[in-house]
A and B are shown apart, each in its own frame.
Chain A
């Protein structure tokens, strides 16, 4: 029992850090705003023009960062649980690429389509990849190996499609590239209202299913022996992971490495039990996106660096460290 106490305090600490970084993050950018003003503005006090910047630009963007970070991280945690490979994540197994291809089609071929078209397309793209993934891997009972390899193959095909579009229609290449790298630039309240309901439905559902992941982790034979319909459970979880990743890719583009590293960091903090792991992953994911976006805005204002570059720069070294550790263990 004492051990659980420690994990609870870790999660509480993480929550506090997320709140602090959120408040500081709102202040960073082309116009720097003092944290005191931010708190006042959030409390409803009128603080002049800066209040407008906070309410209309920074706040929705920060909320998107929180939502996207948590859903990508949880999606990664689920996939690592299902595929039972520490390297699995939505970007690695092609789901992000599928969403990226569909969104690139909309951005480049139908630049005047209504605003909702891009997220819907990305969501559809992610789902198509997931369905294909499922169909191709079905025969082997969704064996982790096949899932991973088929996902990578599908990702490669989608990537070729994206490259073709980029080369063929170089009109809006930069917008597409920024989006493909993943960026929170220009996100507003309408994006929040799009993403928030999805996340509010999906994340509680996933956490409720966390126990199933722990059972799957015991191995297929044991899980079946415990009366768990392994194939179906895996399918449901896979669907949730896709839905989470797809909806956030739809808004922020393919922000890489969060789904890969956030669950690992969380695992170091609270261990392997998914009931604790999923919420902690979400917190870590939020933190990474907040920091990456804050750096992107703050490093050389007014120029913005896409957050995706920072997530890669933060993510990769950690990832290498992680693999080295895994190696010495095995």
Chain B
């Protein structure tokens, strides 16, 4: 009997290892495509050589200065958003919770646009601070609105979308009155990783690093929250503390992503669902799996986005919306139960 159990356990562990392994392979493949594909296609060999040797050809320059930071930003932002979504879904026990639905993306975007429009001389690292403030405000308002008398998926979605509409109409208004910055901001508003440079990588990585470590550390507590507040308290959990730390983590992860890449939607919504399908309900596995597959989704979506209107670029947020929208429909049809 015990043998059998051990056997099943072994299989499960094996499956999980395979899942993570496949995720990492997919990420590496996506990364290489991201470095090689674009308005000028660069061969894999050249890609490899310019990664590991210090060469000065034009192709190598493109890779080192443009495509590599872009691919890294794609992976980091994807991981951030998916992880933020997973944490939020665990915290609220709500399948629709995600940075986008929770108004966090819209709040952060509004604050960043305010920063850009009103104070154009501020350095970009100030924008991150703005994004954090916006993310916190947007999230807090939606949480406050949706959580009265039990947070059902519908309540959350309606409150979130209303706050989103309000924030984005103010954002649009600001943009209309500052014509000279319109085009760049519009691109960014749709969620885009193209045009990111090493400076952006330097800006985002400390925050994501803190966020990702915090997320991993909190994963056990988040799993316990899933059993219900009472049981979790009974097991000696400090629920309030877990919630606060989780919220801070979400704001760090989502806010820094929006500051760099704009409000990219749906990654935080769909990836945690996929991760749970693959590795089960233990958040110690769901959270890292979400991070990996979030990175996979965003890096590959970024590659796809280059083909939408080749050779010019399209925002990656459009690709994630086209993939994520139907998935949202699928969850919605189940009445938000899944």
- A181-B172, A312-B170 given as contacts; is B182 within 8 A of A92 (CB)? no
List chain A residues, Cβ under 8 A from B315: 163-164, 167
Contact A149 B335 (CB under 8 A): yes
Q: How far is the CA of A221 from the CA of B245 in the complex (A)?
A: 45
Contact residues on A (Cβ < 8 Å of other chain), bracket:
35 or more
B197 interface residue per 8 A CB criterion: no
Give residues of chain B (170-189) contacting chain A, Cβ–Cβ below 8 Å.
170, 172-173, 175-176, 179, 182-183, 186-187, 189
List chain A residues, Cβ under 8 A from B126: none
Q: How far is the CA of A155 from the CA of B321 in the complex (A)?
A: 11
List chain A residues, Cβ under 8 A from B265: 156, 160
Chain A, residue nearest B163 (CB): A316
List chain B residues, Cβ under 8 A from A316: 166
* Secondary structure of the A contact surface, majority rule: helix
Count of A-B residue pairs with CB < 8 Å: 149
List chain B residues, Cβ under 8 A from A323: 145, 148, 159
A330 interface residue per 8 A CB criterion: yes
- A178-B176, A306-B176 given as contacts; is B336 within 8 A of A330 (CB)? no
List chain A residues, Cβ under 8 A from B161: 92, 152, 155
B158 interface residue per 8 A CB criterion: yes
Contact A164 B190 (CB under 8 A): yes
A308 interface residue per 8 A CB criterion: yes
B169 interface residue per 8 A CB criterion: yes
Q: How far is the CA of A139 from the CA of B329 in the complex (A)?
A: 14
Write 7 A-B pairs (CB below 8 A) sorted by A numbering. Answer: A85-B158, A145-B152, A146-B335, A153-B332, A167-B315, A170-B182, A323-B148
List chain B residues, Cβ under 8 A from A308: 169, 173
A14 interface residue per 8 A CB criterion: no
Q: Mark A165-178, 1 if CB is under 8 A from B, else 0.
A: 01110100110011
B interface residues, tally (CB under 8 Å): 49
- A163-B190, A306-B173 given as contacts; is B158 within 8 A of A168 (CB)? no
Contact A146 B332 (CB under 8 A): yes
B157 interface residue per 8 A CB criterion: yes
- A87-B162, A150-B332 given as contacts; is B318 within 8 A of A177 (CB)? no
Return B217 CB to nearest CB of chain A, in Å: 32
Q: Mark A127-145, 1 if CB is under 8 A from B, else 0.
A: 0000000001101100111
- A91-B165, A257-B165 given as contacts; is B321 within 8 A of A148 (CB)? no
List chain B residues, Cβ under 8 A from A144: 154
For the complex of A and B, the 6 pairs showing the least CB-CB separation, nearest first, are A160-B321, A149-B332, A157-B325, A87-B158, A327-B148, A309-B173
* Secondary structure of the B contact surface, majority rule: helix
Return B226 CB to nearest CB of chain A, in Å: 22
- A92-B158, A92-B162, A149-B154 given as contacts; is B187 within 8 A of A167 (CB)? yes
Q: How far is the CA of A192 from the CA of B189 in the complex (A)?
A: 34
Q: How far is the CA of A87 from the CA of B266 in the complex (A)?
A: 22
Q: Mark B134-166, 1 if CB is under 8 A from A, else 0.
A: 000000010001001100111101110110011
B118 interface residue per 8 A CB criterion: no
B333 interface residue per 8 A CB criterion: yes
**Residue in B152, B157, B169, B266 whose CB lies within 8 Å of A309:** B169
- A177-B175, A312-B166 given as contacts; is B154 within 8 A of A145 (CB)? yes
Chain B, residue nearest A162 (CB): B190
Contact A174 B336 (CB under 8 A): no
Contact A149 B336 (CB under 8 A): yes
List chain A residues, Cβ under 8 A from B326: 157
List chain B residues, Cβ under 8 A from A326: 148
A159 interface residue per 8 A CB criterion: yes
- A150-B332, A170-B183, A178-B176 given as contacts; is B157 within 8 A of A163 (CB)? no
Contact A174 B182 (CB under 8 A): yes
Contact A319 B162 (CB under 8 A): yes
Q: How far is the CA of A103 from the CA of B324 in the complex (A)?
A: 23
Return B170 CB to nearest CB of chain A, in Å: 6
